[in-house]
Amino acid sequence: MKTTHSNFYRHFGTRLFLLVMAIFVSFPLVFAFSQSLMTNQQVNRWPPPIIPLSPTLSSFYTLFTQPDLKLVLWLRNSIFAASSYTFVVLIICAPAAYAFARLHFPGKKALFGLLLVTVMLPSQVTLIPNFLLMKDLKFLDTFHALIWPGAANVFGVFLLRQFFMQIPRELEEAAILDGASFWGRFWYVTLPLSTNALTALGILVFLGHYNDLLWPFIVTNSIDMRTLPVGLQILNSSYAGQYRPLVLAGAVFATVPIMVFYIIFQRRIIQGVTMSGMGGR
């Protein structure tokens, strides 16, 4: 009894700080959600109302019926593009990472050094050339432009290579004695032991693509090909002045899928992010 009390007082400052942080983090989202349930007149008032006294779904109704706003389609585009991209990245990067982690081949050091140099370059250097290439290939305003240009994900190769190198070699040696090919060692031994790393990378790659703004903004054009972040920007620039709850409803709509995803995968997401920061450890 006594210890819990002294413990409580010892960490009182910490508790208070965490409480303030929790409010700081969640208040903007709670406020946006709460005001998305109000009418335009209710929102444009001083003091700003926090609790919706007569909640209404009218701005959500407008959000889904306005012909120039296609949030459900944009969400579908985002999910389709991000999951295809994630799939492509995993398929391309895992074998490459295995080659760097386990196989000997001439030019390995030079090639790895080249990857290290390019990872230091800001990705925006490739923006204009890749845009012009998409234009020449007639890929603009198609899913191709959203999926292929980022497929060679150097970060993914580093992360998986680091992870593969920590798998004990003995496990593979058993497979070698059984006469397994290089592909067999990769596919039947290394990959099944790496599901954690693959999931972590998959989640990070998915979220990064799902939240990207500049590239999809540049390479898509028609209202039917926009992704959710681009759509939100359009929503904001056309309606923020006249119909604020509509804009907030859009923000809420875009937040819900991510929150559901986070609630389901919170441990994996946090592990994956930490792992990526600690160089795959």
Partner 1 sequence: MSTTGRVRTSGSLNRDGIHVPVILRLRTREAIAAYIFLAPFLIFFSIFVLRAVFTAMNLSLYDWQILKPKRPFVGLANYRELLGDEVWWIAVKNTIVFTFMTVSGTTVLALSAAIAVTKPIKGHGFYRVLLYMPALLSVGVVGLTWSWLLSTQFGIINYGLSFLGLNPINWLGNAELVLPALVLTTIWWGFGFPMLIFIAGIQGIPEILYEAARIDGAVGRQLFFSITLPLLRPTMLFVTVTGVIAHFQVFGQPFIMTNGGPGRASYTVIFYLYEIAWRAFRMGYGSAVAVALAVIMAFFTIVQFKFIGQQFEY
Site for partner 1 in 138-167 (CB under 8 A): 148-152, 154, 157
- When asked if residue 207 is in the footprint of partner 1 (CB under 8 A), the reply is yes
Asked if 96 interacts with partner 1 (CB under 8 A), we say yes
When binding is defined by CB under 8 A, the residue of 61, 72, 108, 196 that contacts partner 1 is 108
* Contact with partner 1 (CB under 8 A) among 211, 223, 238, 268: 211
Regarding 220 and contact with partner 1 (CB under 8 A), the answer is no
Residue from 9, 15, 55, 61 binding partner 1 (CB under 8 A):
15
- Residue number, 92 or 193, with CB nearest to partner 1: 92
> 118 vs 196, which CB is nearer to partner 1?
118
Per DSSP, the residues of 217-272 read HHH--SGGG--HHHHHHHHHHHHTTT-HHHHHHHHHHHHHHHHHHHHHHHHHHHHH
* Biggest CA pair distance of the chain: 77
Size of interface with partner 1, in residues (CB under 8 A): 100
3 state SS of 159: helix
Residue 260 binds partner 1 (CB under 8 A): no
Residue 256 has which token pair? 């819900």
> Binding residue for partner 1 (CB under 8 A) from 60, 98, 139, 158?
98
Do the Cβ atoms of 155 and 119 come closer than 8 Å?
yes
Q: Cis ω on the peptide bond leading into residue 49 (within 30° of 0)?
A: no
CB 189 within 8 A of CB 171: yes
Assigned token pair, 33: 């959600």
Residue with tokens 């990526």: 276
- Shortest Å, Cβ 73 to partner 1: 16
Site for partner 1 contains 244 (CB under 8 A): yes
Residue 46 CB burial class (10 angstroms; 0-12, 13-18, ≥19): exposed
From the list 57-65, 163-171, 178-186, 191-199, the region that binds partner 1 by CB under 8 A is 178-186
The reply on whether position 241 binds partner 1 by CB under 8 A is: no
- Contact between 67 and partner 1 by CB under 8 A: the answer reads no
